[in-house]
Structure 1
Amino acid sequence: MADKEETPAVSLKDMKKFEKWTKSLKYITGLGMDEVERKDFKKRLDVELEEYQCNQCEVWKDNLLKNSPPVRFMVEQLRKVDKEMTKDDFQCIPCDEMRSGGFSPVDGILLCPNKIGSKTHQEHTMVHEMIHMYDHHKFNVDWSNLKHQACSEVRAASLSGDCRWTREMQRGFFTFTKQHQVCVKRRAVLSVTQNPNCKNVEEAERAVSSVFESCFADTRPFDEIY
């Protein structure tokens, strides 16, 4: 008499995965799910994605603080200007703005997990904001002054790796002549326009142009653009 083949036991975890997959398929195709169910499922997916992105940001943050040469270098340089950096100085919080990070003299450094696409991108963002923090502590920047901010934005865009050719390619910019300078100026202007004291793009452009040469040449605390 032949042995009867046993049906493999299905775990609760597998059932939940299958249920989620089925709902995802319904959400994508629009079949078998009413509007209320679609909205509820999308909301759940958004929450799960936000949690995943924030957790990833925290993992990358810890790893970069331990292993990234430019991040570790900036930690050391900030220590020299009496600013002791810890991981608590970096907050992983989803952002509504089209930016990957920010610096506040009061709140420290903001990292935007929903706008950061890779570990390398987060590394550049951390270094960028740490350069702002360095400038704040070493040069006593007045962030309401457009020229002061423009200078720090030029330095941060130039020295952080944010304007490397590969990053520009990802953004869809293919300038080959003075690519680095063009990127630095464009991104500095973009940041200055966000200053509440900036009236328009033209005013931001004038502020950046007025400080560009001297601030682009100032690579402190780096010996050169890395």
Structure 2
Amino acid sequence: MAGVPDKRRPGPAAGEQLQQQHVACQVFPELLAEGRPQQGFFSSFFTSNHKCQLMLLKTLETNPYVKLLLDAMKHSGCAVNKERHFSCEDCNGNVSGGFDASSSQIVLCQNNIRNQAHMNRVITHELIHAFDHCRAHVDWFTNVRHLACSEIRAANLSGDCSLINEILRLHFGLKQHHQTCVRDRAVLSILAVRNITKESAQKAVDDVFDSCFNDHEPFGRIPHSKTDARYAHRDFQNRDRYYSNI
């Protein structure tokens, strides 16, 4: 997870949250009246919220990773709406964003997202969680291995572990460095949202790593660059057309 929503509002009871995970037709339910207040696109100029909204719009319209994920979500019956499923908010700490499974909404931390490239990575990462939430009965709240699997996939497929990002983190390596990065990022993400030991997080990642690392849906490959993502999107569209004609 690129980050998690801060706990500034009480959420639904845990039992209610878990129930929502298993109702396929409620993957994207309408926000309840007591849900997050939505920020209007033109509510204020030259503010962090306005900047966040502009970067969000650019990502949704131009980023090939995100465009593929949006198509895949729609194909799976979970069409994404910008106003409904994204919220730019101030967050505590160094959190960049998070997927709120109880409301099926992606929170973007407008006070911590630094630039357009950062926004692209955060949205891609969180949309992978949303895609997993749409296609599978993910027990986000009590099964740490389910969480570990989605975090592995998000780190693997979102560009979090691209060579340039690892160089910027001053992390260098050659042999299986991508796998090492994915493991490390997944463990860090689990520790950010679960009160468990590092050893427990590492064990959860190890238990599911091989199967989840090799699950490349909906990309069909590990997209190491925007060019890879564009080809993956083209292949996804062609695959969709093929199956629709069978």
Question: Structures share a fold, TM > 0.5?
Answer: yes
8 Å CA contact 1:94, 1:114 repeated in 2: yes
What is the count of residue pairs matched by the alignment?
175
Q: Which amino acid aligns with 1:193?
A: L
Q: What letter is aligned with 1:211? A: V
TM-score normalised by the chain length of structure 2: 0.68
Q: What does the per-residue CA deviation read over 1:146-175, in whole Å, with 9 as the maximum and x for residues that have no partner?
A: 000000000001101111011112222223
Please report the TM-score for the alignment, with normalisation by the length of structure 1.
0.73
Larger Rg: 1
Q: 2:102 matched to 1:106?
A: yes
Which consecutive segments of 4 or more residues in structure 1 shift more than 6 A?
none
Verify the 8 A CA contact 2:101 2:140 in the aligned structure 1: no
CA RMSD of aligned residues (A): 1.4
Whole-angstrom CA distance in 1 between matches of 2:72 and 2:96: 23
Letter aligned with residue 90 of structure 1 = F
Instruction: Note the C-alpha offset of 1:177.
Output: 2.6
Does the aligned pair in 1 maintain the 2:69–2:127 contact within 8 Å? yes
2:152, 2:212 within 8 Å by CA — same for their partners in 1? yes
User: Where does structure 2 lack aligned partners over 5 or more consecutive residues?
Assistant: 1-45, 224-246
Q: State how far apart, in whole Å, the 2-side matches of 1:111 and 1:143 are.
A: 19
Distance in 1 of aligned mates of 2:111 and 2:181: 23
Using the TM superposition, name which of 183-192 and 86-95 deviates more.
86-95
Q: Could you tell me whether the CA contact under 8 Å between 1:103 and 1:133 is conserved in 2?
A: yes
* Contact kept? 2:191, 2:198, Cα under 8 Å: yes
Letter in 1 for 2:82: K
In the other structure, the counterpart of 1:69 is 64
Q: Does 1:82 align with 2:77?
A: yes
More helix by share: 1
Q: Is the 8 A contact 2:187 2:201 kept in 1?
A: yes
- Identity over aligned pairs, percent: 38
SS in 1 for 2:220: coil
Structure 1, unmatched stretches of 5+, are 1-50
Shift of 1:86: 1.4
| 1:1-226 equivalences in 2 (<5 Å) | 52-88=47-83, 89-107=85-103, 108-144=105-141, 145-196=143-194, 198-226=195-223
Counterpart-to-counterpart distance in 1, 2:127 and 2:139:
16
- The code of the aligned residue for 1:126 comes to I
- Name the counterpart of 2:227: none
- SS state at 1:114 partner: coil
Kindly tell me: are residues 114 and 206 of structure 1, through their superposed partners in 2, closer, same or farther at Cα, counting changes over 3 Å?
same
